[in-house]
Structures are given as structure tokens and as C-alpha cells.
Amino acid sequence: MKGIKGRLNRLLSACVGDMVMATVKKGKPDLRKKVMPAVIVRQHNVGVSVNPKGEMKGSAITGPIGKECADLWPRIASAANANF
């Protein structure tokens, strides 16, 4: 995770609204096996791939996103169906 400093001997953890570095495991071959930034939008490790500025690479999000994510990332919130 970028910009988050952890405690000694403790693993870092991310929550809803944090930007992390992630890879695509299943999907199009041109997107797979590349490290790219993503924003966590739900509690169960659902992420949206973004560019380094925080703009979404996709056009829409199916389903709701967390309120914490909507407050921090308004462009992602506008592409979602609903906010929790």
C-alpha cells in the first residue's frame, strides 16, 4: 500500500477507500499479470482499477459502494449505482 506506514512487526492492512497496488488474476489477457493501482470499494476486497491520479479505467460499477469510498473518491462514486 502506498503512503501507509505500519507498526513494527505488524502486517499492513487496507480498508474501504484506500488505494492499493493490485494485479488482475482473471480477465482479459492484456490486463493480466500487471501491477496497477486500485481503490477498495466494498468490504469484501472488491476493487476498481484506477490510474495514478485516481480516475477510473472502467466506465461503470455494478452495485453499491461504501460511504467511505464515496467521500474520498467522488469520481468513482458518480459511476456507481448506489452508495452505502
**Residue 46 maps to which CATH number?**
2.40.150.20
Confidence of residue 2 (pLDDT cuts 50, 70, 90): low
Domain assignment present for residue 12? The answer is no
Mean pLDDT of the chain: 86
Q: Note down the domain range covering 50.
A: 18-83
What percentage of the chain reaches a pLDDT higher than 70?
Answer: 94
Domain assignment present for residue 37? The answer is yes
**d(Cα 76, Cα 10) in Å, to the nearest integer?**
30
Domain assignment present for residue 11? The answer is no
pLDDT for 34 beyond 80: yes
Domain assignment present for residue 69? The answer is yes
Q: What is the pLDDT averaged over residues 54-67?
A: 88
Backbone angles phi, psi at 74, to 5 degrees: -65, -30
Q: What is the pLDDT of residue 8?
A: 80
pLDDT for 38 beyond 90: yes
